[in-house]
Structure 1
Amino acid sequence: MGQKTNEFCYESFAQSIFVIYFLVLYFYLDYSFSKREKLSSFRINPAKVGDLMMDFAAESRIKEARTLIEQGSIGQGLRKFNTLMASFPQDSRVQLHYALALDQQGMEVEAIPHYQKALQLGMRTEDVRVALICLASSYRNVGRHDAALETIERAVEKYKNDAVVQCFYSLILLDNGQSARAVGMLGHLLLQEAAPQKFTGFEQALHNKFDDFKIHRLPSE
């Protein structure tokens, strides 16, 4: 009886050791797999590194071209932008900044296609705002009033409380024979942006007067 008890205890002990070993092995392998899986998520993607390097190169060369123009080397700066266009034809920032450079030199006709291309390629929100305002202004300056109105209304829909957008909108409305709407928009903008105390006692009356123009609502409202 004692011998059988000892054998039973030995078998139980052996089984326990086996179970413990199996559990340790299981958790070790599970941990190792999870760790490798997590580490794999931090692997460097060569394609992304390449894109970042190209972004940095483009940004650096844009700054060089802009600096040349700001320092008076306009021809050299524009030539550098031309080279950039060939190197980064699908970079919206290059398109936008080249358009801005041309615009600053009074070359609106040449700038317009680059604003259009920049918007087509897609940009961050602030760059979209700049491109829409400047494209609308360029259309206005070359006498394309319908295109200017359509473009600035796109900006109004996206940035309806933006004072700069509203100012350009009023100018383009004026060009399109909508002087009442232009005056009303500027009046509401003045009431919105100026210090309230400047209109003490008259603010509501002025709002009502500008409301008479029926233009204080933006296209998206």
Structure 2
Amino acid sequence: MDNDRDRLLAEAVRLRKEGRHERARTRLHALSERFPADAEIAYQTAWVHDALGLEAEAVPHYVRALEKPGLSADDRKGALLGLGSTYRTLGRYPQAVATLTDAAAEFPDDAALKTFLAMAFYNVGRHHEAMELLLKLLTVTSQDPGIAAYRPAIEHYAKDLDATD
């Protein structure tokens, strides 16, 4: 039965990666019904809904994936980012902030999570926090020589954009 599950899941993921989202969605729904406690299947089902622009339908699958054991660290990180981003897309900004804040705490070195968190901060009017987070990310991730040269100043002003010293 596990071999069958693995084969069917791999096939559905392949279809999603090939851009055949509706076929993948159909197969993932069938797998979800067959294996309702499977976190990996729930995550892949959420992902395909997002790929189809069906964000509201993706949410319960993300939630189920995150509530169940069995996701790898990378898939857990992807599910948290997907759920937070989907909440933001749906205008559920406080939930996006909460989800992405927890995710960034769990995966503190992930720049993508912090970037989506900054967008969610912006959406709830936390503009200073959004800019601080993005400026800090810029100094850490940029290979631009000009950014590197001004890194100390950018980091200083990231803490308080209204500072004049």
TM norm structure 1: 0.67
In structure 2, what is the equivalent of residue 198 of structure 1?
Answer: 146
CA separation in 2, counterparts of 1:204 and 1:198?
A: 12
Equivalence for 2:54: 107
The AA in structure 1 aligned to 2:126 is Q
CA distance in 1, matches of 2:30, 2:149: 59
User: For residues 149 and 18 of structure 2, what CA distance do their matches in structure 1 show?
Assistant: 50
Q: Which has the higher contact order (CA 8 A, sep 6+)?
A: 2
1:125 is aligned to: 73
- After TM superposition, give the deviation of residue 91 of structure 1 in Å: 0.9
Is the Cα contact below 8 Å between 1:155 and 1:165 reproduced in 2? yes
Could you report, residue by residue, the CA deviation over 1:99-144 in whole angstroms, capped at 9, with x for unpaired residues?
A: 0000110001111000000111022211111111100011111111
Asked if the contact 2:139/2:148 (under 8 Å) is kept, the reply is no
Structure 2: which amino acid aligns with 1:157? A
In the superposition, relative to structure 1, how do residues 84 and 192 fare at CA in structure 2: closer, same or farther (>3 Å)?
Answer: same
CA RMSD of aligned residues (A): 1.9
Identity percentage of aligned residues: 26
Alpha-carbon displacement from aligned partner over 1:41-96 (angstroms, at most 9, x marks no partner): xxxxxxxxxxxx51x43232122123334445433322111111122111111000
Counterpart of 2:28 (choices 81, 97, 107) is: 81
The alignment's TM-score, normalised by the length of structure 2, stands at 0.88
Q: Which runs of 5+ in 1 are unaligned?
A: 1-52, 215-221
Find the partner of 1:138 among 75, 86, 105: 86
User: Residue 113 of structure 2: which of 150, 155, 165 is its match?
Assistant: 165
Stretch of structure 1 that moved more, 75-84 or 99-108:
75-84
Counterpart amino acid of 1:134? G
CA offsets 1:136-158 (integer angstroms, 9 cap, x no match): 01111111111111100110110
Query: In 2 relative to 1, CA 67–188 (structure 1 residues): closer, same or farther, beyond 3 Å?
Result: same
Does 2:125 match 1:177? Answer: yes
Report SS of the residue matched to 1:135: helix
Contact map agreement 1:181 1:213 (CA 8 A) in 2: no
Question: Which residue identity does 1:63 align to in structure 2?
Answer: A
Q: Do the aligned partners of residues 73 and 131 (structure 1) sit closer, same or farther apart at CA in structure 2, a change above 3 Å counting?
A: closer
- Give 1:197 deviation, angstroms: 3.6
